[in-house]
Amino acid sequence: MGILNVTPDSFSDGGKHFSLDAAIRRGLQMVQEGADWIDVGGESTRPGACEVDEAEECRRVLPVVEALSGSCGAVISVDTQKVGVARQALEHGACVINDVGAGQERSAMWKLVAETGAGYVAMHMQGKPSTMQLNPSYGDACCDVDRFFEDRMKAILEMGVHPDQIVLDVGIGFGKALGHNLRLLGGLRIFKHFRRPILVGVSRKSFIGLLTEAGVGDRLPGSLAAASWAVMEGAQILRVHDVAESVQAVRVVDAIALHAG
């Protein structure tokens, strides 16, 4: 899954693809580099980020979603917490809703997913982007996230969504301290019992900087290491900024796994 932020303030690439032409070029480039899926977001969810109103978020994402859905052949998702944005994005060609706000009461969003048959990524986040890193706390991160997925799966299915529509994202960096992120990555296999694809987003995130003292632009090696580990532990979808490099790393991991003992 290639990350396409059409925002001025995302933590890694804010402003780089803010214009329509730049966003479309980057989306097509990521597909050429091997992305199967482009995730278009118009509201930053970096720690401390402020919310964007629905009209502005639609203004940012809808033209990009429409252009890419008609030209690139990849799955197009919209990264949003707003049901109004999600509905319009689906009407403009998106087929998946990537909902970082799945921890909130989302009955309207889940009803939309049930009505449209769209894919739905349910991500774990403790708190909201504006507050999530103030004091994240868990008994055991894997156990707590596992319980969250159990609760959310039950609620989502009760709204009429089919299990095959759901992808689970453990939410690396969303309301987690360093130890919580490492625990989740180390325990990804715990979540296999849900029998749903597991999505992992580690690309350029702050835990890599805490471990290595690398700035955001220098975290590619750590991102590839974490992504490779995630694949070996059962992740089926990687959300990344650096598509070509990530595709190469995953192909090597897959080849080794195929020939392992």
Tell me which residues are annotated as active site.
Answer: 205, 239
Sheet arrangement for strand 37-41: 2-5, 37-41, 75-79, 96-99, 119-123, 166-169, 198-200, 237-238
Token duo for residue 3: 């990350």
Q: What is the CA radius of gyration of the chain?
A: 17
Beta bridge partners of 120: 97, 166
- Residue ranges of alpha helices (H) inside 117-196 are 141-158, 178-186
Give the separation between CA 207 and CA 211, rounded to whole angstroms.
6
Token duo for residue 4: 């396409």
Give the separation between CA 22 and CA 72, rounded to whole angstroms.
15
Which residues, at least 6 apart from 152, have a Cβ–Cβ distance to it below 8 Å?
102, 103, 122
Which residues, at least 6 apart from 49, have a Cβ–Cβ distance to it below 8 Å?
9, 43, 129, 130
DSSP at 49: P
What are the start-end ranges of the E strands in the chain?
A: 2-5, 37-41, 75-79, 96-99, 119-123, 166-169, 198-200, 237-238
